[in-house]
Amino acid sequence: MNKHPNIDRCIAHVDMDAFYASVEQRDRPELRGLPVLVGGSGPRGVVAAASYEARKFGIGSAMTAAEARRRCPEAVFLRPRMSRYRQVSTRIFTVFSEFTPEVEGLSLDEAFLDLTASLGIFASVEILAARIKERIREETGLAASVGVAPNKLVAKIASDLHKPDGLCILFGDQISRTLDPLPVRCITGIGPQTSSRLEHLGICSVKDLRLAPDAIMKRVFGRYAGRMREKARGIDHRPVSAHHPDRSISAEETFDRDIDQRAKLHSRLAGLAQRAAIRVRRKGLQVGTVFVKIRRADFKTFTRQRRIHPASADPRTLERVARELLDDWLEDNAGAPLRLLGVGVSGLAPAAQMKLFGDGDENLEKTIDSIRDRFGDGAVTRGGSVDHD
């Protein structure tokens, strides 16, 4: 029997509070209560995580180390210990699996959980969400902020409303009442430039965006106008995409300088997709899932993935799907400078199970492969992977 007849979907967004800094303060009790910054302290150093003590000085992730030091000279700078953060992250994701197998990891410290099937076990959504927070604290000693809603968009906004150690649950009429007064920049996909442009047009709140004339929406968002209108209404049909990687092949690149120009990112991504596709075809495989790895300037790393059907090893398909995944992420993180990109594939199976291309395309790819085998991988490249700068 459904204990929650008015809830069709129950999605949680779990976000660990100041994760890297919190791990350091937990492991080193003498740092508790101090402004702790995790990141690089050199000329190109940026803050990857700031404790809440440091945030009181206006310091946040992606801020340069020089600026952070100017704002808080007594701050404690620590180099990231990624292996340690991964260990703690594994324990957190193990906790998630106690509640649902439908977990979409966004980074080491952030995930969506589809809790719909778990509702019948708990008396209320509040009890379920509180238990998740409690289990994380039991296993790691760390605090998490949790937002629960009918979809991913609203759940993510909710998790950010009562940080740190917050819990916010939004369903029904609560969604519009909570979203309407919020600034438009809380909607994923609206960065500082778009937010400023909207404010100049008199659109400052989510309610303003929800009620904005179609002409203004088209002018600002173009073909995404309808989608942005839905976001302002708290509508989001995206499923939680659980990814259980088996074998995988990937290629990635760390940039000499951070890149925030979409055209340059597209060209680098095309080259990475090409490298991954070459390795797939040389092994005689086809792929069922494409994923991208994205690392921001503040070292925070994200992954996005999508299943493809039918399975393929066509480099154009891999590039197209990877580009769509990157563009979806960029829509939610407008203007974010990136220091690393990666393209990978999983769900690998022998290519003999199905025909990969039409006859002409298959012959072309075989010819290209033979040229690369003889003269090297750089002998032939696709135009989209060329950085024209």
Domains and CATH numbers, the chain: 1-175 (3.30.70.270), 180-232 (1.10.150.20), 248-385 (3.30.1490.100)
Q: Please identify which of the residues 53, 102, 110, 319 carries the catalytic annotation.
A: 110
**Model confidence at 333, in pLDDT bands (50, 70, 90)?**
confident
Contacts of residue 168, Cβ cutoff 8 Å, sequence gap at least 6: 146, 147, 148, 158, 159, 161, 162
96-117 average pLDDT score = 94
Contacts of residue 263, Cβ cutoff 8 Å, sequence gap at least 6: none
What local confidence, expressed as pLDDT, does residue 350 receive?
A: 82
Please name the amino acid found at residue 103.
V
| pLDDT above 80 for 101 | yes
Kind of pairing, strands 11-16 and 36-39? unpaired
What local confidence, expressed as pLDDT, does residue 378 receive?
A: 52
**Model confidence at 222, in pLDDT bands (50, 70, 90)?**
very high
**Model confidence at 220, in pLDDT bands (50, 70, 90)?**
very high
**Model confidence at 4, in pLDDT bands (50, 70, 90)?**
low
On whether the CB atoms of residues 189 and 217 are closer than 8 A, the answer is no
What local confidence, expressed as pLDDT, does residue 248 receive?
A: 83
Which residue, chain included where needed, has tokens 């990136």?
A: 338
**Model confidence at 369, in pLDDT bands (50, 70, 90)?**
low
**Model confidence at 3, in pLDDT bands (50, 70, 90)?**
low
| pLDDT above 90 for 142 | yes
Pick from 253, 340, 342: which is nearest to 297 by CA? 340
Share of the chain above pLDDT 90, in %: 67
Q: How far apart are CA 94 and CA 109, in angstroms?
A: 12
Pick from 339, 295, 333, 300: which is nearest to 16 by CA? 300
| pLDDT above 60 for 244 | no
What local confidence, expressed as pLDDT, does residue 384 receive?
A: 54
171-195 average pLDDT score = 93
| pLDDT above 60 for 121 | yes
> What is the pTM (predicted TM-score) of this model?
0.70
Pick from 193, 233, 189, 241: which is nearest to 211 by CA? 233
282-296 average pLDDT score = 91
**Model confidence at 33, in pLDDT bands (50, 70, 90)?**
very high
Pick from 309, 287, 157, 330: which is nearest to 235 by CA? 157
Pick from 273, 281, 264, 291: which is nearest to 381 by CA? 273
Is position 67 annotated as part of the catalytic site?
no
